[in-house]
């Protein structure tokens, strides 16, 4: 603290309580990161007790300032601060059991495990990037709902970022876009402590970060070591005044501040200080070294004044909302609906149905039509693409573009920044909007980190992936996804939906929008497919995950009277190839069922009775057909079955030539089907 700082002894006591709680929790857990919470305690204290408009007693207050600890490894900073300021955190059950099974004080902050945790952080760079989504959502909602005298959406988003956050590429993408969009409500601290895991950051970082952020169009203050409580508060007020640009406040802190032997060492990053060092540090703070998890009454009651202040803010806001509801009843109703995360009543009463047709239509093209239908009914549906909208066909017609200073539109232009797009879409979705982000399936590799976090948080973001196989053709193997589908399917809590035609595509969008607790990946084709008769597609095709699209039995079948000889299981653009193959097989006397499996994970979640209905155990002759890696298909085809898929990368050629070359033809599928039927017969000893 500087000499000019007005910090009282009580302020210092509060700051030191954050520090000692953090040290004690890490020590007791024998695991965690003590040094950074110790260094950043003054920042959290100033934010939560002097600057932020938040309400520990009503943590979900829609207009609260958001706080994001992008340096998620410093989780104890957040837990200590939330506890002290009156959020629902238990000292005994959570903080004293930091990092233990069942404790809500997990290793890294997890979305809403403790009220006040706005987003899951830990993978560096994600917090700052999700915060860009929050700050953007705030402006977009303000543009829609605020009216003169009624600023019902009017808050800031504060972030603490560490060296790792600054080094990660995703934050460069997100920060560049935040600068471009002029997100003045976003205020980030950069904790420049010269330490990361391997030692001094000089090992790998020599850029002038402040200059870089200035170049992005941010308002930048470098406080260096001038970081007393008043300095921090002043800098925050200055940043708040800079309304047209996001703000970065660079602070030079000292990791494990006050620890006689660990301060400024990488050793204070990821391991407990050690019993002896904890004692020495407490002594240096003027604390009793024999007290653990000690919370002085005066510190607690001082910090807990945040509850009362928050209650007042919420009461004021509710009064504002009451007047708003009188002046603008329709807007108020819609705003409340968004906050409740409810969709407009009857929005999906008439899901588009497409007539059966042999005309080839790409599912991305059908998706374009369905998106317009959905967008007209669900105003909170907003999104964009990583510079591929003319290909992903994800533009909302007449939706307007979101630009710096003009946030009322619905179409976002993320630029070629897939990873940040994922995080920003999550941020929008966590902040009352329904966000989608689109790119080619292959480029999911560039955004996996954010998609994974959406699944971990149960955040219903919609990721639209077009150009979903070698069927994209001439762009060649760099652009042709192979293992991407398997990779996405392996993410717990993510629904990967690859519709077989226009009608499944309509149901897929309906599913994605109606789902409130998990993200969806919509996997769509560049090349055309026929349109199936909508009557053949059950209304719950996506929810069930798979269904019988075409069936056939014959008398005297060895597998049983109502059981086919062979089942072809397929997704997306390969379903119609299976249909053609079934024609060939039937002509040869093999009773063939075609199963469309638009969502493998959903089918895996069905009860055994339904699974057996679609894939009768008696029919062991099964072939899966998907123009992607076969990983994951063996479960469905079994030991006797076969998989038609991709074992190598693709190649550069027209789609038709590639499908032929790699064996995605009716003839090849029929051939595989015959071989499997023969094999099953001979295994069974049939003649």
Q: Does the protein bind ligand TPP through residue 269 (CB under 6 A)?
A: yes
Nearest approach, Cβ of residue 196 and Mg ion (Å): 5
Q: Does the protein bind ligand TPP through residue 309 (CB under 6 A)?
A: no
Catalytic residue among 380, 418, 601, 671: 418
- CB crowding 316-335: b at 16 or more within 10 Å, else e: ebeebbeebbeebeebbebb
Q: Are 526 and 468 in contact (CB under 8 A)?
A: yes
Q: Does the protein bind ligand TPP through residue 196 (CB under 6 A)?
A: yes
Site residues (CB under 5 A) for Mg ion? 162-163, 193, 195-196
Q: Does the protein bind ligand TPP through residue 156 (CB under 6 A)?
A: no
Residue 259 CA: distances (Å) to CA of 35, 264, 273? 9, 9, 8
Q: Does the protein bind ligand TPP through residue 597 (CB under 6 A)?
A: no
Nearest Cα residue to 384 out of 458, 463, 321, 330: 463
CA distance 99 to 83: 16
Q: Does the protein bind ligand TPP through residue 466 (CB under 6 A)?
A: no
CA distance 402 to 412: 6
Nearest approach, Cβ of residue 122 and ligand TPP (Å): 6
Nearest approach, Cβ of residue 159 and Mg ion (Å): 15
CA distance 187 to 237: 10
Q: Which is nearer to ligand TPP, 62 or 123 (CB)?
A: 123
Nearest residue to ligand TPP by CB is 164
Compute CA 324 distance to the chain's CA centroid, rounded to the nearest angstrom: 32
Query: Strand, helix or coil at 550?
Result: strand
CA distance 643 to 163: 47
CB atoms within 10 A of CB 58: 18
The pair of three-digit structure tokens given for residue 229, joined into one six-digit string? 């409580």
The pair of three-digit structure tokens given for residue 326, joined into one six-digit string? 């009188």
Run of H or E residues at 434: strand 434-440
Q: Does the protein bind ligand TPP through residue 164 (CB under 6 A)?
A: yes
The pair of three-digit structure tokens given for residue 113, joined into one six-digit string? 């495990």
Q: Which is nearer to Mg ion, 255 or 522 (CB)?
A: 255
CA distance 142 to 335: 10
Q: Which is nearer to Mg ion, 39 or 590 (CB)?
A: 39
Position among 19, 64, 73, 510 found at the interface with ligand TPP (CB under 6 A): 73
Q: Among residue numbers 336 through 365, which ones bind ligand TPP (CB under 6 A)?
A: none
CA distance 577 to 629: 17
Nearest approach, Cβ of residue 342 and Mg ion (Å): 42
Nearest approach, Cβ of residue 139 and ligand TPP (Å): 27
Q: Does the protein bind ligand TPP through residue 195 (CB under 6 A)?
A: yes
Position among 157, 162, 461, 579 found at the interface with ligand TPP (CB under 6 A): 162
Q: Which is nearer to ligand TPP, 130 or 269 (CB)?
A: 269
Q: Does the protein bind ligand TPP through residue 123 (CB under 6 A)?
A: yes
Residue 82 CA: distances (Å) to CA of 37, 186, 307? 13, 21, 11
Q: Are 170 and 450 in contact (CB under 8 A)?
A: yes
Nearest Cα residue to 259 out of 246, 244, 277: 277
Residue 196, beta-bridge partner list: 199
Q: Does the protein bind ligand TPP through residue 197 (CB under 6 A)?
A: yes
Complete DSSP assignment for 551-598 = ----TT-TT-TTS-SEEEEE-GGGHHHHHHHHHHHHHTT--EEEEE-S
Taking CB under 6 A as the binding criterion, the range among 121-129, 406-414, 438-446, 658-666 that sits at the site for ligand TPP is 121-129
Q: Please give the torsion angle defined by the CA atoms of residues 478, 484, 487 and 488, in that order, rounded to the nearest 10 degrees.
A: 140
Q: Which is nearer to Mg ion, 19 or 526 (CB)?
A: 19
Position among 193, 363, 429, 469 found at the interface with ligand TPP (CB under 6 A): 193
Taking CB under 6 A as the binding criterion, the range among 71-79, 479-487, 489-497, 523-531 that sits at the site for ligand TPP is 71-79
Q: Which is nearer to ligand TPP, 122 or 182 (CB)?
A: 122
Q: Does the protein bind ligand TPP through residue 43 (CB under 6 A)?
A: no
Choose from ligand TPP, Mg ion, none: what does 598 bind? Cβ within 5-8 Å by kind: none
Position among 44, 124, 128, 374 found at the interface with ligand TPP (CB under 6 A): 124
CA distance 424 to 378: 19
Q: Are 430 and 459 in contact (CB under 8 A)?
A: yes
Q: Which is nearer to ligand TPP, 58 or 163 (CB)?
A: 163
CA distance 646 to 468: 13
Is 418 marked active-site?
A: yes
Nearest approach, Cβ of residue 492 and ligand TPP (Å): 19
Choose from Mg ion, ligand TPP, none: what does 138 bind? Cβ within 5-8 Å by kind: none
Choose from Mg ion, ligand TPP, none: what does 17 bind? Cβ within 5-8 Å by kind: none
CA distance 659 to 256: 60
Nearest approach, Cβ of residue 52 and Mg ion (Å): 23
Taking CB under 6 A as the binding criterion, the range among 191-199, 386-394, 663-671, 678-686 that sits at the site for ligand TPP is 191-199
Q: Does the protein bind ligand TPP through residue 44 (CB under 6 A)?
A: no
CA distance 445 to 203: 28
Choose from ligand TPP, Mg ion, none: what does 427 bind? Cβ within 5-8 Å by kind: none
User: Residue ranges of the alpha helices (H) in 341-468?
Assistant: 363-377, 389-392, 418-430, 448-457
Nearest approach, Cβ of residue 162 and ligand TPP (Å): 3
Position among 42, 59, 109, 122 found at the interface with ligand TPP (CB under 6 A): 122
Q: Does the protein bind ligand TPP through residue 36 (CB under 6 A)?
A: yes
Choose from Mg ion, ligand TPP, none: what does 42 bind? Cβ within 5-8 Å by kind: none
Taking CB under 6 A as the binding criterion, the range among 195-203, 393-401, 417-425, 664-672 that sits at the site for ligand TPP is 195-203
Which residues are known catalytic residues? 418
Q: Given the rule CB under 6 A, which residues bind ligand TPP?
A: 36, 71, 73-74, 122-124, 162-164, 168, 193, 195-197, 255, 269
């Amino acid at each position: 603290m500087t000499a000019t700082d007005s910090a009282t002894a009580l302020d210092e006591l509060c700051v030191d309580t954050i520090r000692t709680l953090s040290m004690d929790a890490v020590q007791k857990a024998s695991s965690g990161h003590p040094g950074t919470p110790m260094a950043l305690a003054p920042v959290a204290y100033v934010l939560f007790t002097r600057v932020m408009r938040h309400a520990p007693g009503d943590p979900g207050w829609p207009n609260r300032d958001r706080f994001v600890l992008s340096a998620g490894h410093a989780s104890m900073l957040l837990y200590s601060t939330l506890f002290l300021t009156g959020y629902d955190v238990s000292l005994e059950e959570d903080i004293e059991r930091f990092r233990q099974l069942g404790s809500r004080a997990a290793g890294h902050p997890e979305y809403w495990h403790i009220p006040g945790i706005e987003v899951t952080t830990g993978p560096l760079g994600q917090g700052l990037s999700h915060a860009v989504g929050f700050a953007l959502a705030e402006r977009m909602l303000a543009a829609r709902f605020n009216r003169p005298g009624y600023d019902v959406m009017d808050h800031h988003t504060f972030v603490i970022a560490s060296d790792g956050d600054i080094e990660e590429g995703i934050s460069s993408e997100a920060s560049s876009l935040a600068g471009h969009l002029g997100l003045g409500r976003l205020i980030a601290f950069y904790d420049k402590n010269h330490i990361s895991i391997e030692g001094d950051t000089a090992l790998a970082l020599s850029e002038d970060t402040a200059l870089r952020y200035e170049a992005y169009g941010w308002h930048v203050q470098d406080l260096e070591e001038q970081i007393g409580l008043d300095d921090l508060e002043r800098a925050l007020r200055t940043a708040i005044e800079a309304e047209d640009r996001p703000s970065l406040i660079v602070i030079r802190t000292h990791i494990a501040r006050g620890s006689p032997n660990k301060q400024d060492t990488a050793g204070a990053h990821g391991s407990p200080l050690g019993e002896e060092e904890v004692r020495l540090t407490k002594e240096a703070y003027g604390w009793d070294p024999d007290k653990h998890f000690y919370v002085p009454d005066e510190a607690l009651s001082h910090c807990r004044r945040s509850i009362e202040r928050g209650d007042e803010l919420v009461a004021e806001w509710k009064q504002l909302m009451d007047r708003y509801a009188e002046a603008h009843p329709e807007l108020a109703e819609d705003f409340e609906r968004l906050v409740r995360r409810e969709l407009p009543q009857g929005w999906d009463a008439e899901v588009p149905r497409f007539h059966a047709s042999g005309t080839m239509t790409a599912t991305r093209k059908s998706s374009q039509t369905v998106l317009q239908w959905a967008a007209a009914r669900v105003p909170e549906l907003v999104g964009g693409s990583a510079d591929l909208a003319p290909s992903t066909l994800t533009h909302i017609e007449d939706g307007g573009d979101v630009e710096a200073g003009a946030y009322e539109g619905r179409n976002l232009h993320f630029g070629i920044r897939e990873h940040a797009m994922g995080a920003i879409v999550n941020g929008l979705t966590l902040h009352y909007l329904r966000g989608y982000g689109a790119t080619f399936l292959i480029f999911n590799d560039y955004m996996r980190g954010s998609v994974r976090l959406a699944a971990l948080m149960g955040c219903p973001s919609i990721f639209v992936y077009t150009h979903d196989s070698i069927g994209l053709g001439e762009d060649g193997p760099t652009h042709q996804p192979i293992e991407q589908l398997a990779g996405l399917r392996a993410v717990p809590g993510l629904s990967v939906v690859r519709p077989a035609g226009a009608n499944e595509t309509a149901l897929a969008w309906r599913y994605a929008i109606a789902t409130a607790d998990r993200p969806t990946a919509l996997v769509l084709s560049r090349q055309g497919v026929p349109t199936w008769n909508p009557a053949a597609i059950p209304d719950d095709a996506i929810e069930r995950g798979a269904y019988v699209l075409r069936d056939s039995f014959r008398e005297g079948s060895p597998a049983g009277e109502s059981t086919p000889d062979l089942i072809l299981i397929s997704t997306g653009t390969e379903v119609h190839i299976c249909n053609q193959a079934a024609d060939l097989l039937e002509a040869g006397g093999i009773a063939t069922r075609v199963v469309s499996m638009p969502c493998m994970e959903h089918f895996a979640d069905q009860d055994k009775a339904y699974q057996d209905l679609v894939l009768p155990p008696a029919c062991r002759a099964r072939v899966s057909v998907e123009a992607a890696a076969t990983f994951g298909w063996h479960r469905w085809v079994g030991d006797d079955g076969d998989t038609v898929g991709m074992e190598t990368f693709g190649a550069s050629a027209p789609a038709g030539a590639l499908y032929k070359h790699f064996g995605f033809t009716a003839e090849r599928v029929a051939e595989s089907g015959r071989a499997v039927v023969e094999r099953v017969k001979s295994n069974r000893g049939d003649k």
